[in-house]
Homo-oligomer: A and B are copies of this chain.
Amino acid sequence: MPDPPHAVDPVQLGAYFALIEVSDLLRHAIEQQLREDGDLTFVQFQVLMRLSRSPTGSHRMTDLADAIVHSRSGLTYQAGLLAKAGLVTRSPSPHDERSTTVTVTDAGRALIAQVLPGHEQVVSQMLFEPLSRDDARALAGLLEPVRDHMRAAPPRSATPRRRRGRSSSSRGGP
């Protein structure tokens, strides 16, 4: 067999690099716009958006964490900031005493309304200006199955280790 089953050909490599760089630049531009227009982080914006789109205006902490951030503690921190700013409220869940329900306030909705036009402008200009309507449809058609595939598949066996910095010789030597 000439190649291992996971070889990445040049075309794939190009798509992979472009994906990484595009999402990186896009995210950076979005963060700047949100900071200028409403003093929001992208994570905070995502939390508020998700709450705003919910029929009840609220979600459980865990559901928000799974959807937006990769750790529970990260959401605890952000929810604390948003609550302190009066953009959300936190209350114990009626059915489960240990669960916390997060709800958008009117101020939160107002802030979303304030930053949303600029947000759409940035996304439109940076991401969709070079893409036709059919291109956008094709892009969605390619990425949505990938997203579903990623959500289904666990990301390998999990055995976290220490990071570089500290622990003098973890691998390559001094």
The contact string, 1 if C-beta is below 8 Å from chain B, for chain A 150-174, is: 1101011011111111000011111
Q: Could you say which residues of chain B place their CB within 8 Å of the CB of A87? A: 172
Q: Answer yes or no: A64 CB below 8 A from chain B CBs.
A: no
Q: Answer yes or no: A56 CB below 8 A from chain B CBs.
A: no
**Contact status A15-B156, CB under 8 Å:** no
| Assembled-state Cα–Cα distance A4/B16 (Å) | 33
**Contact status A146-B130, CB under 8 Å:** yes
| Assembled-state Cα–Cα distance A14/B151 (Å) | 16
Q: Answer yes or no: A1 CB below 8 A from chain B CBs.
A: no
Q: A12-B128, A39-B164, A164-B81 are in contact. Are A155 and B32 (CB under 8 A)?
A: yes
**Contact status B140-A11, CB under 8 Å:** yes
Q: How far is the CB of A173 from chain B (nearest CB, A)?
A: 5
Q: Answer yes or no: A149 CB below 8 A from chain B CBs.
A: yes
B7, B127, B135, B147: the one within 8 Å of A21 (CB)? B147
Q: Answer yes or no: A2 CB below 8 A from chain B CBs.
A: no
Q: Could you say which residues of chain B place their CB within 8 Å of the CB of A65? A: none
Residues of chain A whose beta carbon lies under 8 Å from any beta carbon of chain B: 4-9, 11-12, 14-16, 18-29, 32-33, 35-36, 38-41, 44, 70, 81, 84-87, 107-108, 110-111, 114, 117, 120-131, 133, 135-140, 142-151, 153, 155-156, 158-165, 170-174
